Structure 1
Amino acid sequence: MFFSVFSKISLRQASLVLLSVVAIALNSCSLDRFKAEATQVPQMVASVGTDPSTFNYALNQAAPNVFGYIYEGLITSDGMTGEIIPAQAESWEVSDDNLRITFTLREGLKWSDGEPLTVDDVVFTFNDVYLNEEIPAPTRDVLRIGESGALPTVRKVGDRQIEFVSPEPFAPLLLYGGGAPILPAHKLREAVETKNSAGEPLFLSTWGTGTDPGEIVGNGPYVMVSYSPAERVVMRRNPYYWQQDEQGNPKPYVERFVWQIIENTDTALLEFRSGGSDLIEISASTFQLLKKEENRGNFSIYQGGPDTSALYFCFNLNQASRNGQPIVDPIKSRWFNTLEFRQAVAHAIDRPTMINNIFLGLGEAQNSPIPVQSVYYLSPQEGLKTYDYNLEQAKELLTSAGFQYNSAGQLLDAEGNRVQFTLLTNSGGRRIATIGAQIKQDLAQIGMQVDFQPIDFNTLINRLGNTFEWDAYLGGITASTEPHGWSAVWALDGSLHTFNQAPTAGQPPVEGQQFADWEREIANLYVKGSQVLDEAGRREIYAQAQQLMQEHLPFIYLVNALDMAAVRNTVQGIEYSSLGGPLWNLPDLRVAEN
């Protein structure tokens, strides 16, 4: 299962979610019929492994999602360099004291239904939605400022000017304020202001995947036309999108953009090889096969270095109770909250074998959630703690913490309880299932019984974020080169603080939740890092945070795959990087005749 951290906020960034987090797939059973319907317009077919979980951006926490295609913020980023560039705003100015940013909207902006997009929409998006405490928007997590968690103020200062004001220096304000998608006030204001019988905004149930896609209004390069669950999402060019080329031709050039949805990666590969899709993520298991077919198949393989996602193993450290019952079995909770237990697990996972056998050498050991492409990444050579594969050291850590082995080599705790727990992950992905199977085998080598259980994505989301009924899980997060994008993960009340999750809005309360000193310190460092404007100072702060993460292991990081994709040569204009993937400049792409 993969969560999308807020940094994936634009078309360029969301395209990375599309290809680097999920297996690219295609629904072959009805593809021929669909292709026949679309032969008259230029189209591109991409594929994803799961259905979208919502059409409401403000409530979304998952990838893949459609939002990078149907929405846009005031600014975005260049997928090759990471440089911040204009989007719905033509320019911005930062005050000398770094507390104010004034954005100027482009002239004549419109929503996909033809209605004007104005400063009022921007003010509504932030003040009524993202910063509204009644709406559990992950965006709000990354906009909290300082130890007080204050939020910026957003106000109209001219017909085309919006001012963002921070009460204190806040380094990520430009990226996370300017980059958040703008939402249509004329379509959503009533749902925000109207309450249901429980006193909750109707917005919380607005624009789910059961909504007619034609009702979803956006300002991105595409607008949804139809959604067939487990089959496809069809999007067409937004006729009111602002981008044009030098000759005045509207962008995007590709009229129709299609997601084909299928979970089976083998089927996805077969469909790509037969010409059924235009691009596919390249895993280690398919790289060698496809490399031999580049010329015959009329496609090219692109490589962008290690991907920017974080793949990890995680225990449920939550020691709270709900309705008088412990969230986690107290026996298991004692294991999971024992540092030596987590460190032993880190030493017992055979990452070299994982890289060689599952990633076929096309991967690197991962020790930090911050991508290697980030200037804030702390490498092992710079002192970051790592955990080499060492079964003897793992066993020594366990016995030093009071665990023991019986005559059959099974691990018992000090009270004689067999160490056994369930490891969850999202069903449907071959590689994640293979990784889970290896972890099960690896931990058996130190006497642990792991019950590996892939489950439905929505069921997993509910357990992780709502019921908290889980022992351990295997998943990942699409990471950000700007560390503050992880605020939703490290803030104690963050919506993605999964290993010790507090209830979100509308969920039953818990009693007796505890936060470790190291947990609080990481949260504090992330606050401090956002307040420091000096880059050298920020690097030092995030280095300290990475050291604490590796010392205490709320997440046990595994492997970074090399970021690769195969793209049909009929798709012209591809500029590929691990930051942006193949679609970061989608409005500039063209599809030529075969």
Structure 2
Amino acid sequence: MAKGEIPPVDERLPENPVVVTPVESIGKYGGEWTSGTVETNGNDIRRNIGYYQLVQFAWDWNGVVPGVCESWTASEDAREYTFILKKGLKWSDGQPFTADDLVFYYEDVVMNAEITPIPPKFPYVVEKVDDYTAKWVLEDPNGLFIKEEAQVDRAPTRYPKHYLQQFHIKYNPDVAALVQKEGFESWFALFTAKASVHENAELPKLWPWIPTVGMGAGATRIICERNPYFYQVDTEGNQLPYIDRYAQEWVTDNEVLVLKSLNGEIDFQEQWINAA
């Protein structure tokens, strides 16, 4: 396939895409959604367009529903949770999202002392059952595990193994050359930067829009373009999202956001504005 071309939509979607029922009616493609933030740590962009996890809270907060997983089961003793993944689900670069990504997150990120110096408070392991099945085995029972995994700070779906392994010393014995080339002091500092969803625009994601630039020094605006491999459709089978791109303005204080909003520069804003 020629550079810049993408496969037909039915080849980009998983076998069983998530069907989203429109609030009012089927939408139209096009446009840009602009918001703003005073944060530079990426929290806002993850909350606004990056909440696509194994499981997540329903839009009305009435319980937990499957996110990028097809389904899950729990053992009676609340120590084992098995996630069935969507066959055909792809990262934004077109590579498959599989159980290998989840095991990579656990074994090579969570349990690597240089990347994660403080181990999990509640010990667990992640096991690959097959390409589309992964199991969490907890040391102690936890009946709230699924609700905890639905929190916005959970990260198992943010680590594409096929991309990040090139920056990991376990998989790349020549990673020192990359460390020097990129100007970092250690391989794990390089890995952490490359795994940053808001600093590294090249990191494949499962989001509806994908950043075209990272949050670098001096940057004031980030543009995110539609992900051609996003796994959701509307009730007529149209791939989502409808909006072409998401933009986020970075400002120094809340008053600037108020002025931008009054000037019509902000389309929708869920926090940081005090209208009082």
Q: Is the contact between residue 56 and residue 149 of structure 2 (CA under 8 Å) also seen in structure 1?
A: no
Distance of 1:127 and 1:172 partners within structure 2 = 23
Matches within 5 A, 1:353-372: none
TM-superposed deviation, 1:100: 0.7
1:98 to 1:254, Cα distance in 2 relative to 1, 3 A: same
The residue aligned with 1:554 is: none
SS in 2 for 1:203: helix
**Rg larger in 1 or in 2?**
1
Distance of 2:100 and 2:229 partners within structure 1 = 18
SS in 1 for 2:247: strand
Q: Is the contact between residue 193 and residue 199 of structure 2 (CA under 8 Å) also seen in structure 1?
A: no
Distance of 2:31 and 2:236 partners within structure 1 = 20
Q: Is the contact between residue 99 and residue 170 of structure 1 (CA under 8 Å) also seen in structure 2?
A: yes
Structure 2 counterpart of 1:257, from 246, 259, 265: 246
Structure 1 counterpart of 2:34, from 45, 52, 56: 45
The residue aligned with 1:103 is: 83
Does residue 171 in structure 1 map to residue 143 in structure 2? Answer: yes
The residue aligned with 1:453 is: none
TM-superposed deviation, 1:70: 4.3
TM-superposed deviation, 1:235: 0.6
TM-superposed deviation, 1:204: 3.4
1:68 to 1:157, Cα distance in 2 relative to 1, 3 A: farther
Does residue 162 in structure 1 map to residue 162 in structure 2? Answer: no
1:132 to 1:175, Cα distance in 2 relative to 1, 3 A: farther
Distance of 2:226 and 2:106 partners within structure 1 = 26
Amino acid at match of 1:185: K
Does residue 152 in structure 1 map to residue 124 in structure 2? Answer: yes
TM-superposed deviation, 1:231: 1.4
SS in 2 for 1:226: coil
Distance of 2:274 and 2:39 partners within structure 1 = 20
TM-superposed deviation, 1:130: 2.2
TM-superposed deviation, 1:84: 0.9
Amino acid at match of 1:273: L
Distance of 1:210 and 1:79 partners within structure 2 = 24
The residue aligned with 1:242 is: 231
TM-superposed deviation, 1:65: 4.4
Q: Deviations over 1:175-205 (max 9, x none)?
A: 3456633110011112123565977534134
Does residue 221 in structure 1 map to residue 208 in structure 2? Answer: yes
Matches within 5 A, 1:54-453: 63-66=43-46, 69-70=49-50, 72-136=52-116, 141=120, 144-145=121-122, 151-177=123-149, 180-181=154-155, 182=157, 183-193=159-169, 194=172, 196=176, 201=188, 202-207=190-195, 213=201, 215-227=202-214, 229-280=218-269, 286-287=275-276
Amino acid at match of 1:279: F
TM-superposed deviation, 1:135: 1.3
Amino acid at match of 1:266: E
SS in 1 for 2:127: strand
1:137 to 1:48, Cα distance in 2 relative to 1, 3 A: farther
1:285 to 1:81, Cα distance in 2 relative to 1, 3 A: closer
4+ residue segments displaced more than 6 Å: none
Distance of 1:162 and 1:65 partners within structure 2 = 28
Q: TM-score, normalised by structure 2?
A: 0.72
Q: Which has the higher contact order (CA 8 A, sep 6+)?
A: 2
TM-superposed deviation, 1:171: 3.3
Identity of aligned residues (%): 26
1:67 to 1:279, Cα distance in 2 relative to 1, 3 A: closer
1:114 to 1:137, Cα distance in 2 relative to 1, 3 A: farther
The more displaced of 241-250 and 127-136 is 127-136
Distance of 2:198 and 2:237 partners within structure 1 = 37
TM-superposed deviation, 1:274: 2.2
More helix by share: 1
Instruction: Could you tell me which runs of 5 or more consecutive residues in structure 2 were left unpaired when the two chains were aligned.
Output: 1-28, 180-184
TM-superposed deviation, 1:102: 0.8
Distance of 2:236 and 2:160 partners within structure 1 = 30
1:281 to 1:163, Cα distance in 2 relative to 1, 3 A: closer
Amino acid at match of 2:124: P
Q: Is the contact between residue 237 and residue 254 of structure 1 (CA under 8 Å) also seen in structure 2?
A: yes
Instruction: Could you tell me which runs of 5 or more consecutive residues in structure 1 were left unpaired when the two chains were aligned.
Output: 1-39, 54-62, 146-150, 288-594
TM-superposed deviation, 1:154: 0.6
TM-superposed deviation, 1:270: 2.1
Matches within 5 A, 1:461-540: none
